[in-house]
Chains A and B, each alone.
Chain A
């Protein structure tokens, strides 16, 4: 038996790592990966609560989160490719103009 709070703490730590990566990273692709890390942290708490409350719908929500994350990744990476084509850089500090 593992306390539920252990799972939630792990989930919180993963989420905090994702937030930190979002803040300190300067490469736009790594920032995007940090967002995926945050989504994974939340998924873990979904599954842990589903097991705790014996409600299977928690696992269905994880499925939906994964679908949305996949769609978001496809669009986001396409945006990154479009940005790289016009700016020739992936550093977010140099991407500071809406229009070239």
Chain B
């Protein structure tokens, strides 16, 4: 019972944050509601027992990635988005589409899927066991992601670097 109540509370916060992200016009408000969604999702992970994933969710997603977003929003001085003709058409078809889609997904999942149940803290994922898996079974993907992150760092620096004045030519002697 407690599990269900906590699940519903965190889930309500999640959905409210996601809907608020869609409703808000200013990007900084959308970013802050995305932080709320991510924090509530960390709560859901903790309910499932995934403590490591919950902690990483808060540190990496709600911390690092969202700070990056807020930084870029403030750097570019992004203002309230203006409505254009294209966005009204998207609004007209997008919102009914979302409502129909999510109701359909929820209905199919709630009525047609099996009667599997998840207990509170069903699968504890302590860092030790995650590390055992990560450094034995998933060692190659782990190393590949490290290369990916390195390339991403270099790509971000190259793309965001200010195209400065051309290299000063060497003085002829």
Contact = CB atoms under 8 A, between A and B. Distances in A.
Given A9-B106, A63-B56, A24 B15 contact: no
A52 B117 CA distance: 7
Contacts, number: 253
A85 to B, nearest CB: 8
Contact of A30 (B27, B68, B93, B97): B27
Of the listed residues B81, B82, B114, B118, the one surrounded by the most CB atoms of chain A closer than 10 A to its CB is B118
B21 A59 contact: no
A70 B65 contact: yes
B82 A26 contact: yes
Contacts of A73: 65, 68-69
Given A17-B102, A44-B44, A62-B53, A23 B94 contact: yes
A2 interface: yes
B53 A47 contact: yes
Contacts of A26: 81-84, 86-87
Contacts of B166: none
A59 B50 contact: yes
Contact of B116 (A4, A25, A59, A62): A4
Given A24-B95, A36-B34, A77-B68, A17 B22 contact: yes
Interface residues of B, number: 88
Contacts of B86: 26, 93
A37 B81 contact: no
A3 B27 contact: no
B122 A17 contact: no
Nearest to B56: A66
B65 A75 contact: no
A9 B109 contact: yes
A47 B148 contact: no
Interface of B: 3-4, 7, 11, 14-15, 18-19, 21-22, 27, 30-31, 34, 37-38, 41, 44-45, 48-50, 52-53, 56-57, 60-61, 64-65, 68-69, 72-73, 75-76, 78, 81-84, 86-87, 90-91, 93-95, 97-98, 101-102, 105-106, 109-110, 113-120, 122-123, 125, 129-130, 133-134, 137-138, 141, 145, 148-149, 151-153, 155-160, 162-163
7 tightest A-B contacts by CB?
A71-B152, A12-B105, A20-B98, A78-B159, A16-B102, A17-B18, A51-B122
Interface of A: 1-10, 12-21, 23-27, 29-30, 32-34, 36-37, 40, 43-44, 47-48, 50-52, 54-57, 59-60, 62-64, 66-75, 77-82, 84-85, 90-91, 93
